[in-house]
Structure 1
Amino acid sequence: MISTQQCRILICDPHRLIVELLERVLNLDARCSVVATTTENERSVELATEHQPDAVLLGTADSRPDAFTVVGQIKSSSPRSQIILFGDASPDIVLDQALRLKTSGFVLTNESIGSLTDAVTSVVGGEQYFSPEIRNRLSFDPMRRAWQMRSPSQLASLTNRQLEVLRLLAHGQSVKEVARGLHLSEKSVDSHKYRIMSKLNIHDRVELARFAIREGLVSP
Protein backbone atom coordinates (compact mmCIF):
# COMPACT_ATOMS: atom_id res chain seq x y z
CA MET A 1 0.00 0.00 0.00
CA ILE A 2 1.24 3.48 -0.85
CA SER A 3 1.65 5.44 2.37
CA THR A 4 4.62 7.77 2.02
CA GLN A 5 4.18 8.54 -1.66
CA GLN A 6 1.37 10.57 -3.16
CA CYS A 7 -1.21 8.85 -5.35
CA ARG A 8 -0.66 10.13 -8.89
CA ILE A 9 -4.06 10.77 -10.49
CA LEU A 10 -5.43 11.31 -14.00
CA ILE A 11 -8.92 12.89 -14.24
CA CYS A 12 -11.23 12.56 -17.25
CA ASP A 13 -14.76 13.94 -17.38
CA PRO A 14 -16.69 15.63 -20.22
CA HIS A 15 -17.37 18.69 -18.06
CA ARG A 16 -14.45 21.09 -17.72
CA LEU A 17 -15.86 22.60 -14.51
CA ILE A 18 -15.96 19.18 -12.83
CA VAL A 19 -12.42 18.42 -13.94
CA GLU A 20 -11.03 21.70 -12.63
CA LEU A 21 -12.87 21.46 -9.32
CA LEU A 22 -11.69 17.90 -8.74
CA GLU A 23 -8.14 18.82 -9.66
CA ARG A 24 -8.10 21.73 -7.23
CA VAL A 25 -9.69 19.84 -4.34
CA LEU A 26 -7.66 16.64 -4.75
CA ASN A 27 -4.41 18.59 -4.88
CA LEU A 28 -5.27 20.01 -1.45
CA ASP A 29 -5.08 16.49 -0.03
CA ALA A 30 -1.49 15.57 0.88
CA ARG A 31 -2.16 11.99 -0.24
CA CYS A 32 -2.97 13.01 -3.82
CA SER A 33 -1.27 14.61 -6.80
CA VAL A 34 -3.18 15.23 -10.04
CA VAL A 35 -0.69 14.69 -12.88
CA ALA A 36 -3.02 15.26 -15.85
CA THR A 37 -6.61 16.14 -16.78
CA THR A 38 -8.75 16.00 -19.89
CA THR A 39 -12.35 16.22 -21.05
CA GLU A 40 -11.77 13.77 -23.92
CA ASN A 41 -11.89 10.00 -23.49
CA GLU A 42 -9.44 9.34 -26.31
CA ARG A 43 -7.00 11.84 -24.82
CA SER A 44 -7.24 10.04 -21.47
CA VAL A 45 -5.68 6.96 -23.07
CA GLU A 46 -2.77 9.03 -24.37
CA LEU A 47 -2.26 10.69 -20.99
CA ALA A 48 -2.43 7.37 -19.15
CA THR A 49 0.22 5.98 -21.49
CA GLU A 50 2.41 9.02 -20.95
CA HIS A 51 2.07 9.43 -17.17
CA GLN A 52 1.31 5.87 -15.96
CA PRO A 53 -0.81 7.22 -13.07
CA ASP A 54 -1.68 5.23 -9.96
CA ALA A 55 -5.37 5.99 -10.43
CA VAL A 56 -7.63 7.18 -13.25
CA LEU A 57 -10.89 8.95 -12.36
CA LEU A 58 -13.25 8.47 -15.28
CA GLY A 59 -16.58 10.30 -15.40
CA THR A 60 -19.61 8.45 -16.78
CA ALA A 61 -21.96 11.42 -16.91
CA ASP A 62 -23.11 11.45 -20.51
CA SER A 63 -23.05 7.82 -21.72
CA ARG A 64 -20.78 8.65 -24.63
CA PRO A 65 -20.35 5.54 -26.79
CA ASP A 66 -16.58 5.40 -26.14
CA ALA A 67 -16.78 5.79 -22.36
CA PHE A 68 -16.27 2.11 -21.63
CA THR A 69 -14.12 1.38 -24.65
CA VAL A 70 -11.34 3.48 -23.15
CA VAL A 71 -11.34 1.47 -19.91
CA GLY A 72 -9.83 -1.51 -21.72
CA GLN A 73 -7.46 0.73 -23.63
CA ILE A 74 -6.19 2.37 -20.45
CA LYS A 75 -5.75 -1.02 -18.79
CA SER A 76 -3.69 -2.12 -21.77
CA SER A 77 -1.54 1.01 -22.05
CA SER A 78 -1.11 1.57 -18.30
CA PRO A 79 -1.61 -1.79 -16.53
CA ARG A 80 -0.71 -0.48 -13.07
CA SER A 81 -3.40 2.23 -13.15
CA GLN A 82 -6.48 1.57 -11.05
CA ILE A 83 -9.66 2.89 -12.69
CA ILE A 84 -12.42 4.50 -10.64
CA LEU A 85 -15.67 5.51 -12.32
CA PHE A 86 -17.73 8.36 -10.94
CA GLY A 87 -21.15 9.63 -11.89
CA ASP A 88 -24.84 9.76 -11.03
CA ALA A 89 -26.91 6.76 -9.91
CA SER A 90 -26.17 4.41 -12.78
CA PRO A 91 -28.42 1.83 -14.47
CA ASP A 92 -27.63 -1.80 -13.67
CA ILE A 93 -26.08 -2.40 -17.08
CA VAL A 94 -23.53 0.37 -16.50
CA LEU A 95 -22.51 -1.21 -13.20
CA ASP A 96 -22.52 -4.66 -14.76
CA GLN A 97 -20.15 -3.56 -17.49
CA ALA A 98 -17.92 -1.74 -15.02
CA LEU A 99 -17.62 -4.98 -13.03
CA ARG A 100 -16.93 -7.03 -16.16
CA LEU A 101 -14.12 -4.66 -17.11
CA LYS A 102 -12.68 -5.09 -13.61
CA THR A 103 -12.69 -1.41 -12.72
CA SER A 104 -11.51 -0.81 -9.17
CA GLY A 105 -14.37 1.32 -7.93
CA PHE A 106 -17.46 3.42 -8.54
CA VAL A 107 -18.24 6.61 -6.62
CA LEU A 108 -21.58 8.39 -6.91
CA THR A 109 -21.62 12.16 -7.30
CA ASN A 110 -23.94 12.55 -4.30
CA GLU A 111 -21.00 11.49 -2.07
CA SER A 112 -18.54 13.86 -0.45
CA ILE A 113 -15.13 14.65 -1.90
CA GLY A 114 -13.73 12.71 1.05
CA SER A 115 -15.32 9.56 -0.37
CA LEU A 116 -13.48 10.12 -3.64
CA THR A 117 -10.09 10.55 -1.97
CA ASP A 118 -10.80 7.50 0.19
CA ALA A 119 -11.64 5.57 -2.98
CA VAL A 120 -8.37 6.61 -4.60
CA THR A 121 -6.20 5.58 -1.66
CA SER A 122 -8.17 2.34 -1.20
CA VAL A 123 -7.83 1.13 -4.79
CA VAL A 124 -4.17 2.11 -5.02
CA GLY A 125 -3.72 0.03 -1.87
CA GLY A 126 -5.15 -3.01 -3.63
CA GLU A 127 -8.77 -2.81 -2.49
CA GLN A 128 -12.02 -2.06 -4.34
CA TYR A 129 -14.30 0.82 -3.42
CA PHE A 130 -18.01 1.20 -4.14
CA SER A 131 -20.35 3.84 -2.77
CA PRO A 132 -22.75 2.31 -0.20
CA GLU A 133 -25.74 2.81 -2.52
CA ILE A 134 -23.96 0.83 -5.23
CA ARG A 135 -22.66 -1.84 -2.87
CA ASN A 136 -26.29 -2.56 -1.87
CA ARG A 137 -26.92 -3.57 -5.48
CA LEU A 138 -24.00 -5.99 -5.55
CA SER A 139 -23.15 -9.36 -4.06
CA PHE A 140 -19.72 -10.93 -3.61
CA ASP A 141 -19.01 -14.27 -5.28
CA PRO A 142 -16.45 -16.04 -3.05
CA MET A 143 -15.67 -18.64 -5.74
CA ARG A 144 -14.73 -16.03 -8.32
CA ARG A 145 -13.58 -13.58 -5.65
CA ALA A 146 -15.44 -10.84 -7.49
CA TRP A 147 -18.43 -8.54 -7.11
CA GLN A 148 -21.49 -9.10 -9.29
CA MET A 149 -24.96 -7.65 -9.75
CA ARG A 150 -27.66 -9.00 -7.41
CA SER A 151 -30.22 -8.74 -10.23
CA PRO A 152 -28.51 -8.88 -13.64
CA SER A 153 -29.87 -6.75 -16.47
CA GLN A 154 -31.35 -8.43 -19.53
CA LEU A 155 -28.27 -7.11 -21.32
CA ALA A 156 -26.06 -9.29 -19.11
CA SER A 157 -26.38 -12.06 -21.72
CA LEU A 158 -24.32 -9.97 -24.16
CA THR A 159 -20.54 -10.05 -24.35
CA ASN A 160 -18.50 -6.89 -23.80
CA ARG A 161 -17.93 -6.60 -27.56
CA GLN A 162 -21.64 -6.98 -28.25
CA LEU A 163 -22.40 -4.26 -25.70
CA GLU A 164 -19.92 -1.97 -27.47
CA VAL A 165 -21.57 -2.65 -30.83
CA LEU A 166 -25.07 -2.19 -29.40
CA ARG A 167 -24.15 1.10 -27.73
CA LEU A 168 -22.72 2.50 -30.97
CA LEU A 169 -25.65 1.31 -33.08
CA ALA A 170 -28.10 2.78 -30.55
CA HIS A 171 -26.25 6.10 -30.84
CA GLY A 172 -27.19 6.08 -34.54
CA GLN A 173 -23.92 4.92 -36.06
CA SER A 174 -24.05 2.80 -39.21
CA VAL A 175 -22.49 -0.65 -39.44
CA LYS A 176 -19.66 0.89 -41.46
CA GLU A 177 -19.03 3.56 -38.79
CA VAL A 178 -19.09 0.99 -35.99
CA ALA A 179 -16.66 -1.21 -37.89
CA ARG A 180 -14.28 1.70 -38.42
CA GLY A 181 -14.50 2.84 -34.80
CA LEU A 182 -13.90 -0.63 -33.35
CA HIS A 183 -11.35 -1.69 -36.01
CA LEU A 184 -13.55 -4.57 -37.13
CA SER A 185 -14.79 -5.71 -40.52
CA GLU A 186 -18.33 -4.77 -41.53
CA LYS A 187 -19.08 -8.49 -41.77
CA SER A 188 -18.01 -8.94 -38.15
CA VAL A 189 -20.20 -6.05 -36.96
CA ASP A 190 -23.15 -7.44 -38.92
CA SER A 191 -22.58 -10.79 -37.23
CA HIS A 192 -22.53 -9.14 -33.79
CA LYS A 193 -25.71 -7.22 -34.63
CA TYR A 194 -27.48 -10.43 -35.66
CA ARG A 195 -26.45 -12.23 -32.44
CA ILE A 196 -27.50 -9.24 -30.31
CA MET A 197 -30.94 -9.06 -31.89
CA SER A 198 -31.33 -12.82 -31.64
CA LYS A 199 -30.41 -12.92 -27.93
CA LEU A 200 -32.75 -10.04 -27.12
CA ASN A 201 -35.53 -11.22 -29.46
CA ILE A 202 -35.55 -7.84 -31.21
CA HIS A 203 -36.27 -7.54 -34.91
CA ASP A 204 -35.27 -4.04 -36.09
CA ARG A 205 -32.83 -1.25 -35.26
CA VAL A 206 -35.48 1.18 -34.03
CA GLU A 207 -36.66 -1.34 -31.46
CA LEU A 208 -33.02 -2.07 -30.60
CA ALA A 209 -32.29 1.62 -29.94
CA ARG A 210 -35.42 1.96 -27.79
CA PHE A 211 -34.39 -1.09 -25.78
CA ALA A 212 -30.86 0.29 -25.21
CA ILE A 213 -32.34 3.58 -23.95
CA ARG A 214 -34.86 1.82 -21.70
CA GLU A 215 -32.11 -0.33 -20.17
CA GLY A 216 -29.92 2.72 -19.57
CA LEU A 217 -27.15 1.69 -21.96
CA VAL A 218 -27.44 5.05 -23.76
CA SER A 219 -29.12 8.36 -22.95
CA PRO A 220 -32.30 9.41 -24.82
Structure 2
Amino acid sequence: MTAATTFDLTGRRAVITGGGGCIGAAVAERMAALGADVEVWDLKAPDEWATRSRIVDVTDAEAVHRAMDAAAAKLGGLDVLVCAAGITGPTRPASTYSAAEWRRVLDINLDGTFYCVNAALRHMEPDRRSDIVCLASIAGKDGNPGMAAYSAAKAGVIAMVKSIGRELALTQIRTHAIAPALIETGLLEQMDAATVAANLAKIPMGRAGTPGEVAELAAWLMSSGCSFTTGAVHDLSGGRATY
Protein backbone atom coordinates (compact mmCIF):
# COMPACT_ATOMS: atom_id res chain seq x y z
CA MET A 1 0.00 0.00 0.00
CA THR A 2 1.43 3.38 -0.96
CA ALA A 3 1.57 6.37 1.35
CA ALA A 4 -0.71 8.29 -0.99
CA THR A 5 -3.40 5.61 -0.69
CA THR A 6 -2.93 5.19 3.04
CA PHE A 7 -3.31 8.89 3.70
CA ASP A 8 -6.14 9.59 1.29
CA LEU A 9 -8.89 11.28 3.34
CA THR A 10 -11.10 12.12 0.38
CA GLY A 11 -14.73 12.14 1.38
CA ARG A 12 -14.08 12.19 5.13
CA ARG A 13 -16.33 14.74 6.84
CA ALA A 14 -14.70 16.26 9.90
CA VAL A 15 -15.22 18.63 12.80
CA ILE A 16 -12.10 19.93 14.55
CA THR A 17 -12.45 21.74 17.87
CA GLY A 18 -9.84 24.28 18.87
CA GLY A 19 -9.30 24.90 15.16
CA GLY A 20 -8.01 28.40 15.84
CA GLY A 21 -5.09 27.07 17.87
CA CYS A 22 -1.77 25.85 16.55
CA ILE A 23 -2.47 22.13 16.77
CA GLY A 24 -6.10 22.31 15.65
CA ALA A 25 -5.17 24.50 12.71
CA ALA A 26 -2.33 22.18 11.69
CA VAL A 27 -4.63 19.16 11.79
CA ALA A 28 -7.30 21.01 9.80
CA GLU A 29 -4.81 22.06 7.14
CA ARG A 30 -3.36 18.56 6.83
CA MET A 31 -6.78 16.94 6.60
CA ALA A 32 -7.98 19.41 3.99
CA ALA A 33 -4.82 18.84 1.96
CA LEU A 34 -5.57 15.10 2.05
CA GLY A 35 -9.07 15.63 0.70
CA ALA A 36 -11.25 15.83 3.81
CA ASP A 37 -14.20 18.20 4.10
CA VAL A 38 -13.37 20.13 7.27
CA GLU A 39 -15.25 22.42 9.63
CA VAL A 40 -13.29 24.06 12.45
CA TRP A 41 -14.69 25.20 15.78
CA ASP A 42 -13.31 27.78 18.16
CA LEU A 43 -14.42 30.72 20.28
CA LYS A 44 -13.37 33.00 17.43
CA ALA A 45 -13.63 32.13 13.76
CA PRO A 46 -10.11 31.74 12.29
CA ASP A 47 -9.67 34.02 9.26
CA GLU A 48 -8.26 31.26 7.08
CA TRP A 49 -11.35 29.12 7.73
CA ALA A 50 -13.93 31.90 7.51
CA THR A 51 -16.36 29.95 5.34
CA ARG A 52 -15.72 26.64 7.08
CA SER A 53 -15.78 27.57 10.74
CA ARG A 54 -18.26 27.79 13.57
CA ILE A 55 -18.08 29.67 16.86
CA VAL A 56 -18.70 27.11 19.61
CA ASP A 57 -18.07 27.10 23.36
CA VAL A 58 -17.28 23.44 24.06
CA THR A 59 -18.17 23.86 27.75
CA ASP A 60 -21.82 24.44 26.81
CA ALA A 61 -23.27 20.98 26.22
CA GLU A 62 -26.47 22.21 24.59
CA ALA A 63 -24.56 24.55 22.27
CA VAL A 64 -22.24 21.69 21.30
CA HIS A 65 -25.18 19.47 20.34
CA ARG A 66 -26.79 22.22 18.31
CA ALA A 67 -23.52 22.94 16.54
CA MET A 68 -22.86 19.25 15.83
CA ASP A 69 -26.35 18.85 14.36
CA ALA A 70 -25.74 21.88 12.13
CA ALA A 71 -22.26 20.71 11.11
CA ALA A 72 -23.47 17.23 10.21
CA ALA A 73 -26.28 18.71 8.17
CA LYS A 74 -23.87 21.02 6.33
CA LEU A 75 -21.28 18.30 5.71
CA GLY A 76 -23.83 15.65 4.81
CA GLY A 77 -22.82 13.49 7.77
CA LEU A 78 -19.85 13.08 10.09
CA ASP A 79 -16.88 10.69 9.90
CA VAL A 80 -14.20 12.39 12.00
CA LEU A 81 -14.06 14.40 15.21
CA VAL A 82 -10.77 15.87 16.39
CA CYS A 83 -10.88 17.36 19.89
CA ALA A 84 -8.03 19.86 20.14
CA ALA A 85 -9.64 22.58 22.28
CA GLY A 86 -7.82 23.02 25.57
CA ILE A 87 -5.96 25.20 28.07
CA THR A 88 -3.10 24.48 30.48
CA GLY A 89 -4.54 26.37 33.44
CA PRO A 90 -2.44 27.21 36.51
CA THR A 91 1.17 26.05 36.66
CA ARG A 92 1.78 26.22 40.39
CA PRO A 93 1.30 24.08 43.51
CA ALA A 94 -2.15 22.52 43.87
CA SER A 95 -2.51 24.13 47.31
CA THR A 96 -2.74 27.53 45.63
CA TYR A 97 -5.46 26.59 43.13
CA SER A 98 -8.87 28.13 43.50
CA ALA A 99 -11.95 25.99 42.93
CA ALA A 100 -12.82 28.16 39.93
CA GLU A 101 -9.40 27.59 38.33
CA TRP A 102 -9.64 23.84 38.81
CA ARG A 103 -13.17 23.75 37.44
CA ARG A 104 -12.33 25.82 34.35
CA VAL A 105 -9.52 23.49 33.27
CA LEU A 106 -11.72 20.42 33.64
CA ASP A 107 -14.69 22.16 32.01
CA ILE A 108 -12.71 22.82 28.83
CA ASN A 109 -10.27 19.93 28.63
CA LEU A 110 -12.38 17.05 29.95
CA ASP A 111 -16.06 17.94 30.04
CA GLY A 112 -15.86 19.86 26.76
CA THR A 113 -14.16 16.91 25.08
CA PHE A 114 -16.87 14.56 26.32
CA TYR A 115 -19.66 16.85 25.15
CA CYS A 116 -18.19 16.90 21.65
CA VAL A 117 -17.66 13.13 21.56
CA ASN A 118 -21.14 12.52 22.90
CA ALA A 119 -22.67 14.75 20.23
CA ALA A 120 -20.52 13.38 17.41
CA LEU A 121 -21.38 9.75 18.16
CA ARG A 122 -25.03 10.51 17.47
CA HIS A 123 -24.10 11.29 13.86
CA MET A 124 -21.50 8.61 13.17
CA GLU A 125 -22.67 5.48 11.38
CA PRO A 126 -21.65 2.21 13.09
CA ASP A 127 -20.94 0.50 9.76
CA ARG A 128 -18.94 3.39 8.22
CA ARG A 129 -15.30 4.00 9.15
CA SER A 130 -15.29 6.90 11.58
CA ASP A 131 -12.60 8.23 13.91
CA ILE A 132 -12.54 10.24 17.10
CA VAL A 133 -9.10 11.70 17.84
CA CYS A 134 -8.66 13.40 21.22
CA LEU A 135 -5.64 15.47 22.20
CA ALA A 136 -4.51 14.21 25.58
CA SER A 137 -1.01 14.80 26.99
CA ILE A 138 1.95 13.02 28.48
CA ALA A 139 0.88 14.89 31.62
CA GLY A 140 -2.18 12.65 31.73
CA LYS A 141 0.14 9.65 32.09
CA ASP A 142 2.98 11.06 34.19
CA GLY A 143 1.23 13.80 36.18
CA ASN A 144 3.27 16.97 35.62
CA PRO A 145 4.15 18.72 38.90
CA GLY A 146 2.51 22.10 39.22
CA MET A 147 -0.18 21.12 36.71
CA ALA A 148 -2.64 19.09 38.78
CA ALA A 149 -5.79 20.22 36.97
CA TYR A 150 -4.33 19.80 33.49
CA SER A 151 -2.86 16.39 34.35
CA ALA A 152 -6.13 15.21 35.85
CA ALA A 153 -8.16 16.42 32.87
CA LYS A 154 -5.89 14.75 30.33
CA ALA A 155 -5.86 11.52 32.34
CA GLY A 156 -9.64 11.65 32.14
CA VAL A 157 -9.49 12.09 28.37
CA ILE A 158 -7.23 9.04 28.09
CA ALA A 159 -9.58 6.91 30.21
CA MET A 160 -12.59 8.09 28.22
CA VAL A 161 -10.95 7.21 24.89
CA LYS A 162 -10.05 3.75 26.20
CA SER A 163 -13.54 3.13 27.53
CA ILE A 164 -15.43 4.27 24.43
CA GLY A 165 -12.99 2.48 22.13
CA ARG A 166 -13.77 -0.83 23.80
CA GLU A 167 -17.47 -0.01 23.89
CA LEU A 168 -17.51 0.49 20.11
CA ALA A 169 -14.89 -2.09 19.12
CA LEU A 170 -17.37 -4.18 17.09
CA THR A 171 -18.40 -1.14 15.05
CA GLN A 172 -16.42 0.83 12.48
CA ILE A 173 -16.07 3.78 14.88
CA ARG A 174 -12.55 4.03 16.32
CA THR A 175 -11.22 6.18 19.15
CA HIS A 176 -7.68 7.45 19.55
CA ALA A 177 -5.80 9.59 22.07
CA ILE A 178 -2.63 11.47 21.20
CA ALA A 179 -0.37 12.17 24.17
CA PRO A 180 2.22 14.80 23.24
CA ALA A 181 5.00 16.11 25.40
CA LEU A 182 5.86 19.81 24.88
CA ILE A 183 4.63 21.11 21.52
CA GLU A 184 5.59 24.51 20.11
CA THR A 185 2.23 26.26 20.54
CA GLY A 186 0.74 29.28 22.25
CA LEU A 187 -0.10 27.05 25.23
CA LEU A 188 3.55 27.28 26.26
CA GLU A 189 2.95 30.97 26.94
CA GLN A 190 0.45 29.93 29.64
CA MET A 191 3.21 28.08 31.48
CA ASP A 192 5.97 29.72 33.51
CA ALA A 193 9.51 29.46 32.12
CA ALA A 194 10.67 27.08 34.86
CA THR A 195 7.87 24.61 34.06
CA VAL A 196 8.67 24.74 30.35
CA ALA A 197 12.38 24.18 31.01
CA ALA A 198 11.71 21.30 33.41
CA ASN A 199 9.46 19.52 30.93
CA LEU A 200 11.83 20.13 28.02
CA ALA A 201 14.65 18.56 30.04
CA LYS A 202 12.66 15.32 30.25
CA ILE A 203 12.62 14.88 26.46
CA PRO A 204 15.54 12.72 25.26
CA MET A 205 15.38 14.21 21.76
CA GLY A 206 16.11 17.60 23.33
CA ARG A 207 13.40 19.62 21.66
CA ALA A 208 9.69 20.32 21.65
CA GLY A 209 7.47 18.77 19.02
CA THR A 210 5.71 20.73 16.30
CA PRO A 211 2.02 21.08 15.45
CA GLY A 212 2.80 19.54 12.07
CA GLU A 213 4.08 16.38 13.76
CA VAL A 214 0.84 16.13 15.72
CA ALA A 215 -1.15 16.61 12.52
CA GLU A 216 0.79 13.87 10.75
CA LEU A 217 0.06 11.37 13.51
CA ALA A 218 -3.61 12.38 13.54
CA ALA A 219 -3.81 11.90 9.78
CA TRP A 220 -2.40 8.39 10.07
CA LEU A 221 -4.81 7.47 12.86
CA MET A 222 -7.81 8.34 10.70
CA SER A 223 -6.39 6.80 7.54
CA SER A 224 -7.04 3.40 5.99
CA GLY A 225 -3.51 2.39 6.96
CA CYS A 226 -4.49 2.43 10.65
CA SER A 227 -6.80 -0.56 10.63
CA PHE A 228 -6.23 -2.47 13.88
CA THR A 229 -6.12 0.08 16.68
CA THR A 230 -8.83 1.64 18.81
CA GLY A 231 -9.08 2.84 22.38
CA ALA A 232 -5.33 3.39 22.44
CA VAL A 233 -2.93 6.15 23.49
CA HIS A 234 -0.33 7.21 20.91
CA ASP A 235 2.66 8.99 22.43
CA LEU A 236 4.32 11.91 20.69
CA SER A 237 6.96 12.68 23.26
CA GLY A 238 10.42 12.65 21.71
CA GLY A 239 11.28 9.63 23.82
CA ARG A 240 9.93 10.94 27.13
CA ALA A 241 7.12 8.38 27.49
CA THR A 242 8.02 5.34 29.58
CA TYR A 243 4.76 3.39 29.24
TM-score grouping bracket, smaller chain normalisation: 0.3 to 0.5
Relative to the length of structure 2, the TM-score reads 0.44
Pick 1 or 2: higher relative contact order, CA cutoff 8 A, min separation 6.
2
Relative to the length of structure 1, the TM-score reads 0.48
